[in-house]
């Protein structure tokens, strides 16, 4: 079945993240990908100064209303970076009004990393994000985001019991499935935990020391694409994780490429994995 997906996040025109990553990856997965930009930025905000920002919050309900008038609906929704609590409210309205019966809801609560919220956000935003995650079929936080969503103390060093407590608390919020990224018990390893409350699987792969901007968006997009192509949540998590590693490895060959990952060069590998 040819599926139609709506993805809502910002456009950073330069920098290989958000919609400039999501649209090509999801399209490569064979999905009709409809975009709703939450904002347009000249570049992403990491490592650049003086970037321009055009907030599109006020345009979002008008776009959704036009789609509804035209009878446009979706088999799935995938959200990434949302700029405000008002945008979260608009997304919740779209979930109610634009999704087909049985539509898949994938929420990436892109708001924090390294133990801290991104500068644009506060705890009021976190409270609204909790409500969005509560209606998710799949929620894709990193450990920092999981801590903010659940109120559990953030730790750099942790064990399996700590990770299980995070996953349980996320499921208790209402999410049907948790895909927790960045989980590793050794310095040389990282991975992803996938759980629906009944089963628990941890995929471990090597950790590449040099981090890259935009890999969370690459991961969430590849996961969503694989999932909607019929793969299980765990297999989709593995496909996405391996693809991100491929992206980082090929980018490391280019010492001047510091603002994102060269994901385009490894799209053929992603298609093979699918």
pLDDT score at 209: 63
Q: Are strands 177-181 and 4-14 parallel, antiparallel or unpaired?
A: unpaired
Question: Within 10 A of 101 (CB to CB), how many other CB atoms are there?
Answer: 6
Distance in angstroms (rounded) separating the CA atoms of residues 37 and 55 = 9
Q: Is residue 239 part of a domain?
A: no
Q: Is residue 174 part of a domain?
A: yes
Q: Is residue 256 part of a domain?
A: no
61: nearest Cα among 52, 53, 69:
69
| Residues in CB range of 74: below 8 A, 6 or more apart | 4, 5, 6, 34, 98, 99, 100, 103
CA 6 to chain centre: 13
Q: Is residue 246 part of a domain?
A: no
pLDDT score at 210: 64
CATH code: domain of residue 9: 3.40.1190.20
Q: Is residue 231 part of a domain?
A: no
Q: Are strands 32-43 and 116-117 parallel, antiparallel or unpaired?
A: unpaired
| Residues in CB range of 86: below 8 A, 6 or more apart | 57
How many domains are contained in the chain?
1
pLDDT score at 214: 81
163 within 8 A of 193, measured Cβ to Cβ: yes
Distance in angstroms (rounded) separating the CA atoms of residues 269 and 210 = 21
Q: Is residue 116 part of a domain?
A: yes
Q: Is residue 30 part of a domain?
A: yes
pLDDT score at 79: 98
203 within 8 A of 234, measured Cβ to Cβ: yes
Q: How many CA atoms lie within 13 A of 223 on its CB side?
A: 32
214: nearest Cα among 174, 167, 270, 260:
260
Buried b (16+ CB within 10 A) or exposed e, 193-214: bbbbeeeebbbeeeebeeebbb
What is the span of the domain harbouring residue 122? 4-206
44 within 8 A of 15, measured Cβ to Cβ: yes
* Per-residue pLDDT tens listing for the chain (274 residues): 899 999 999 999 999 999 999 999 999 999 999 999 999 999 888 878 888 999 999 999 999 999 999 999 999 999 999 999 999 999 999 999 999 999 999 999 999 999 999 988 999 999 999 999 999 999 999 999 999 999 999 999 999 999 999 999 999 999 999 999 999 998 888 999 999 999 999 999 888 766 677 889 999 999 999 999 999 999 999 999 999 999 999 998 888 888 889 999 999 999 999 9
SS3 sequence of 33-45:
EEEEEEEEEEECC
Q: Is residue 211 part of a domain?
A: no
């Amino acid at each position: 079945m040819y599926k139609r997906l709506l993805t809502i996040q910002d456009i950073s025109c330069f920098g290989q993240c958000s919609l400039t990553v999501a649209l090509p990856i999801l399209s490569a997965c064979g999905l009709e990908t409809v975009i709703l930009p939450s904002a347009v930025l000249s570049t992403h905000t990491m490592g650049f100064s003086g970037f321009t920002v055009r907030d599109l919050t006020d345009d979002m309900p008008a776009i959704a209303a036009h789609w509804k008038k035209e009878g446009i609906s979706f088999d799935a929704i995938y959200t990434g970076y949302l700029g405000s609590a008002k945008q979260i409210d608009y997304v919740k309205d779209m979930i109610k009004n634009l999704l087909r019966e049985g539509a898949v809801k994938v929420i990436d609560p892109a708001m924090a990393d390294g133990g801290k919220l991104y500068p644009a956000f506060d705890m009021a935003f976190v409270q609204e994000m909790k409500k969005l995650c509560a209606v998710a079929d799949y929620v894709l936080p990193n450990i920092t985001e999981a801590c903010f969503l659940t109120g559990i103390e953030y730790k750099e060093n942790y064990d399996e019991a700590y990770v299980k407590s995070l996953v349980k608390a996320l499921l208790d919020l209402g999410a049907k499935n948790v895909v927790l990224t960045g989980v590793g018990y050794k310095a040389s390893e990282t991975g992803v935990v996938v759980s629906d409350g009944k089963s628990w699987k941890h995929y471990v792969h090597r950790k590449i020391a040099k981090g890259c901007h935009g890999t969370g968006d690459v991961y969430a997009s590849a996961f969503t694409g694989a999932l909607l192509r019929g793969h299980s949540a765990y297999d989709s998590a593995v496909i996405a994780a391996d693809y991100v590693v491929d992206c980082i490895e090929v980018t490391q060959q280019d010492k001047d490429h510091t603002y994102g990952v060269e994901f385009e060069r490894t799209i053929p590998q992603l298609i093979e994995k699918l």
